[in-house]
Amino acid sequence: MESARRRVGAIVRLLRRRYPRARTSLDFGSPLEILVATILAAQCTDERVNTLTPGLFRRYPTAEALARADRTELEGIIRPAGFFRNKAKSIVGAASRIVEAYGGVVPDSMAELVTLPGVARKTANIVLSAGYGKAEGIAVDTHAGRLARRLGLSREEDPVKVERDLMALLPRKDWLDFNVLLVEHGRALCTARNPKCPACFLKSLCPSAGAAAAPGKKKR
């Protein structure tokens, strides 16, 4: 375990050096906005979400406004994000609970956030880290899960179990930005298909380096 912690420490240092301005690529100005943007980003690109949220937040600037939103109108605004009916249901449901239980203010704890409709640990972690600067866990999305497995930091497929493994390896001070560092690296080099292993600055620390190029082997 100690050697694994030293290795992940070296990985974090190199990631920070390569991506010194890593942050979520979702545009937001408040905890409510990052909450809604993260719900919209499920199975949708951040770039597309960013084209929708300015108009969405002008129309519904508060949790109270979202809680009262006409569902058909809201669905029309967010339709390009895909799965718009379910996402509209989650947004209105989350906003309603924020108003009813938290006085219109997005809660700042994991225990409270996961009581909101449509909010599981990944979304809650993003709201806490990006919206409040609080580290209660590590958001595990598609990029983070893929890279955690490739880097030998977890063998799990379930995001909650991957998060558990990462939390055991990383000190809490590294939890805040580890997701965004992995996302940056997943987009730049460690792509889902045809990862750029020869050019990767982590290859000496990665047990999967070069596996994609080997006959009969695929990167996970």
Which amino acids are annotated catalytic?
122, 141
Contacts of 23 (CB under 8 A, 6+ apart): 130, 177, 180
Residue 161 backbone dihedrals phi, psi, to 5 degrees: -70, -35
Alpha carbon 92 to chain centroid distance? 21
Angle between helices 159-169 and 142-150 (to 10 degrees): 60
7's tokens: 């290795």
**Residue found under tokens 């409709």:** 117
